[in-house]
């Protein structure tokens, strides 16, 4: 069983540029969530994708967008990068657990974005 894999692991961009981060979900998982983790802070929820549609979003502006593909992999796109976008971006996948609130998010190792 493969875990969650993310790419690239590290990247450097300049203000105003655009970035695309990629995530392959764990085998058997159909829901993908993205998180932003600034240095010294806990992960902050960006959005969740299920069946190729966004079905939950945190307090992030529209320049943060995403996609989910039929194989459940996902992309996070950030336009017009700002210095404060420098962070570790985490992808997490989970299965659909029906009516139970019990579920486990499996996280990838993250993509470290530095905006100069």
Partner 1 sequence: LAKTTQPISMDSYEGQEVNITCSHNNIATNDYITWYQQFPSQGPRFIIQGYKTKVTNEVASLFIPADRKSSTLSLPRVSLSDTAVYYCLVGDLRGGSGGSNYKLTFGKGTLLTVNP
Cβ at position 15, least distance to partner 1 in Å: 24
- Bridge pairing between strands 5-7 and 53-57: unpaired
Locus of tokens 């100069």: 116
Non-local (6+) Cβ contacts of 23 within 8 A are 4, 5, 6, 32, 34, 73, 74, 75, 76, 91, 93, 108
Site string for partner 1, 47-76 (x = CB under 8 A): -x-xx---xxxx------------------
Shortest distance, position 106 Cβ to partner 1, whole Å? 7
Which stretches of the chain bind partner 1, using CB under 8 A? 4, 29-31, 33, 35, 40-45, 48, 50-51, 55-58, 88, 90, 92, 94-110, 112
């Amino acid at each position: 069983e493969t875990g969650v894999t993310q790419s690239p692991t590290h990247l450097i961009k300049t203000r105003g540029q655009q970035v695309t981060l990629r995530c392959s979900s764990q085998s058997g998982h159909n829901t993908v969530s993205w998180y932003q983790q600034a240095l010294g802070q806990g992960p902050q929820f960006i959005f969740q994708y299920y069946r190729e549609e966004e079905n939950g979003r945190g307090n992030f502006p529209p320049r943060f967008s995403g996609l989910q593909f039929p194989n459940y992999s996902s992309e996070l796109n950030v336009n017009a990068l700002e210095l404060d976008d420098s962070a570790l971006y985490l992808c997490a996948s989970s299965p659909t657990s029906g009516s139970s609130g019990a579920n486990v998010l499996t996280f990838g190792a993250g993509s470290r974005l530095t905006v100069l």
